[in-house]
Amino acid sequence: MKLRKNMKLGLSFIFLLLTLTSCLSLINLTKKNNTLEENTLSLSPTTGDDFYEFNNDRFSAYDLSPYEQVWLGLINGRGVQYDDDWYNITVSPGEERLVVFLSFFHGDGDIDIDVYDSNGFFVASSTSITDNEYIDIVVSLAGIYSLRVYFGNAGNEYDLMWDDMSPSLFDDSYEENDGPGNATNLTPSKNMWLSSVNGLGIQGDEDWYTINILPGEERLKVVCLFSNSLGNINLDILDSAFNPIYNSWTLEDGEFVNTILPSPGIYYIRVYYGDGGNVYDLIWDSLPLIGGEDDPYEQNNLVNDAYWLGQDEQTYLSDLRGMAVQGDDDWYAIEVTPGFLNLEVELNFSR
């Protein structure tokens, strides 16, 4: 769950945030969002909306064409659905399969998404009443399309990512990784979404990935995002001898791993099950076990020892020094800029 509080602030000051022991902001991204137990710190403009405004109609749409396979949060922060938000994308010739991920927490307000062609004609939509929306279609022509993010107008935050690919492409660029002997090495891509490494994964058959866990970093987190309605996907973690260590087998959108591994070394991530050509995104991280099970932001157990995040606005902790671990009180300090009256803090974790 997430609780967002907008705080009216009259001047610049240092705000000391006690995560987990306070109730500023909680989001559950366990199965259906796009982060790995990550905290987002962001400030919105005084309008209360996001940094893509004003994009309230098709003619003022924000152009995401240069940002294929990039999550919105990594461009200019997450979107905020106070009103209709429009984005333009460009589908390339020969890549008419259009995939769109819209990630949000439904409990903060429902959000839907539509696709329109360059003439303003409706093409497709995703309008569920759960977390997240997904679109996976083949459009008739290459060219400019518009994405409309709309519905509840509750000020709910969201993230969005799009990709186009060949309609005849039944598998991804990580092939042939159908078994442990051909596993794709994701060790250099720690804390990176698969979409930003070499494109989205496609679960047309078993996909194997290998990672190297360093001594002292045996806490493993993995998130695999996909639409279950388009084909279920399971997730296994295996050791170097192919012994199963952990699995995530749900009937929900996405799978999530959060486990302490028995030792450092080589491990395998196995993505498999439906073999229906469903697209997915994946990210992994390992955390140092400092002081038992703590994080690289220690020692920040007291207000006077708060970790300084003042220069890291709109940045996930995982993009700084890795994800945090709530083994004790964790304090962080931020600075609010004059004139920015809405403070938004996200704390994402697996309940």
- pLDDT higher than threshold 70 for residue 82: yes
Asked if residues 326 and 348 have their Cβ atoms less than 8 Å apart, the reply is: no
pTM: 0.65
- pLDDT higher than threshold 50 for residue 191: yes
Find the mean pLDDT for residues 211-224. Answer: 94
**For residue 194, what pLDDT band results from cuts at 50, 70 and 90?**
very high
Q: Strand, helix or coil at 216? A: coil
Average pLDDT of every residue of the chain? 82
Find the mean pLDDT for residues 209-222. Answer: 95
Pick the more confident residue, 302 or 234. 234
Asked if residues 48 and 82 have their Cβ atoms less than 8 Å apart, the reply is: yes
CATH number, domain 46-165: 2.60.120.380
Pick the more confident residue, 274 or 182. 182
pLDDT of residue 137: 93
pLDDT of residue 1: 35
Which residue ranges does the chain devote to CATH 2.60.120.380? 46-165, 180-287
Sequence-distant (≥ 6) Cβ neighbours of residue 267 within 8 angstroms: 210, 211, 212, 213, 220, 237, 238, 239, 240, 245, 261
Architecture of domain 180-287: Sandwich (2.60)
Give the Cα separation of 110 and 178 in Å (integer).
38
Pick the more confident residue, 100 or 307. 100
